[in-house]
Amino acid sequence: MMFSGRSFILLITVFFVSIKAASAQTEDITSRFYFPGSIGISMPFANRHTQLNDGLAVNTAIEYRPTYINDLFYRIDYDALNNNYTSYVPTIPTNILKGKLSTDFLLVGAGYRERFGKWALFGLIQPGLGIHSFERAQVSQNSVMLSSVTSNSFAVKTDIGAEYYITRHFAAVFDPSFYKLFTSFNIGITTTIL
């Protein structure tokens, strides 16, 4: 059985969770780096030219916290959203009227987290790059050839989420995110390596 890149990231996240559950929690430089990961649903905003269906969202990140909590933090995200679409006009960047749009986001930003007992709320803003992948068809006299097309654009992600701390360095996360054309609602975990 072959694993996709996204499945591999999810497998690595589960691996780190297993290590975390089996290890004692220490306070050193490794306790400042967190690895949030979540999976959920990608819900596009309405568009009069194209109907985008709900799809899968997978978010992974590396987060640095200079102090444990109740302070600023910094995060690098790689988010992958996959949605099927139906186009009502032939003038969108692809000439395929029903297909799949894969959007990857590479984002860097800062946020603030405040803890209330076992719960914490956070807000985050991240500018970065949106990479949109889809297919185009080239029709010749006797054949149709599909080719992959990628376009890049500036992207901004805003995030307001909640965490429930099971232990000091391990939390369950509810992570609603907002992009230019999409919103996603994810659940996942955040933890340190050790």
User: What's the distance, CA 38 to chain centroid?
Assistant: 7
CATH at 145: 2.40.160.20
Measuring CA to CA, how many Å separate 137 from each of 7, 104, 147?
28, 22, 6
Structural domain count of the chain: 1
- Structural domain boundaries, residue 132: 5-191
Per residue, the 3-state secondary structure of 49-114, as one string, reads CEEECCEEEEEEEEEECCCCCCEEEEEEEEEEEEEEEEECCCCCCCCCCEEEEEEEEEEEEEEEEE
Q: How do residues 69-105 score in pLDDT, each as one tens digit?
A: 899 999 999 999 998 877 776 666 777 778 888 899 9
Q: How do residues 5-17 score in pLDDT, each as one tens digit?
A: 565 566 566 555 5
